[in-house]
Amino acid sequence: TGGSSRPFRVVLLGARGVGKTAIASIFAGAADNEVCEQTVTVDGEKATVTLVDNWDSEDEGGSSQDQCIQTGDAYLLVYSITDRSSFLKASELRISLRQHRPAHHTPIILVGNKCDLVRRREVSVNEGRVCAAVFDCKFIETSAAMQHNVWPAFHGIVQQLRLRRDTK
C-alpha cells in the first residue's frame, strides 16, 4: 500500500544559516545534495520522500523562490531559536505559502532548530508553539547538531501527508 504512489515532495524553507543543509544531510545520510530521495517507514508503512533543499534566500521574490514555494507537497519551515529575525522570516514565508497555495491544506511544520544552543536562545518554546497555532501548522524544536528530533519531524510530515491523502 502506498509503495507505488509517487514520492512526497518535501521542501525546506527558511532564512540562511538556520540549519537547512544540516537537516537535509541527516535525511540524506551525510550526503549534501540539494535534492535527495529516501524511503522511510512511518507507522509501519513505507513512504518515499524527496527532500528539496535549494531555497535561495538571496533571491528575494525571484522565480527560484516561487518555484520552491509552488512545487512542494509539504514544507518544513525552519528558523533558528538563536535568531529572532529567522523566526520573523518564517512567519513571512508562512504568509507567502498561504498566498501561493490558498486552496490546498498543505502540510507544514514549523521547525525551531538549534535547540542545543540553550544559552543563545532568542525565541522561547512557547513563542514557537503560539506562532504555529496562529499559522495553523505543527511545531517541533530540533537540533541537527545533536541529531535530536530531526527524524520525528520527517515522520510527522509524512503522517500529515497521509492524513491529507486519505481525506481527499
The residues that touch ligand GDP, with contacts defined as CB under 6 A, are: 14, 16-22, 113-114, 116-117, 143-145
Question: Which cell numbers hold the place of 135?
Answer: 499559522
Nearest distance in Å: CB 158, ligand GDP: 21
Round the CA-based radius of gyration of the chain to a whole number and report it.
Answer: 15
Cα–Cα distance measured from residue 69 to residue 12, given in angstroms and rounded to the nearest whole number: 10
Cα torsion angle, 49, 53, 57, 62, sign: negative
Residue (106 or 143) nearer to ligand GDP, CB: 143
Q: Is the dihedral of CA 120, 113, 52, 136 positive or negative?
A: negative
**Between residues 20 and 94, which has the closer beta carbon with respect to ligand GDP?**
20
Nearer to ligand GDP, 16 or 46 (CB): 16
Q: How far is the CB of 163 from ligand GDP (least distance, A)?
A: 27
Nearer of residues 125 and 133 to ligand GDP, judged by Cβ: 125
Contact 144/116 with Cβ under 8 angstroms? no
Give min distance, CB of 77 to ligand GDP, in A.
12
Helices (H), the chain: 20-28, 63-71, 84-100, 125-134, 150-166
Q: Using CA atoms, how far apart are residues 153 and 111, in angstroms rounded to an integer? A: 8
Cβ 146 to ligand GDP shortest distance, Å? 7
Residue nearest to ligand GDP (CB): 19
From CA 78, how far away is CA 12, in angstroms rounded?
7
Give me the least distance between CB of 149 and ligand GDP, in Å please: 10
Residue 65 or 113: which CB sits closer to ligand GDP? 113
Ramachandran angles phi, psi of 140, nearest 5°: -150, 145
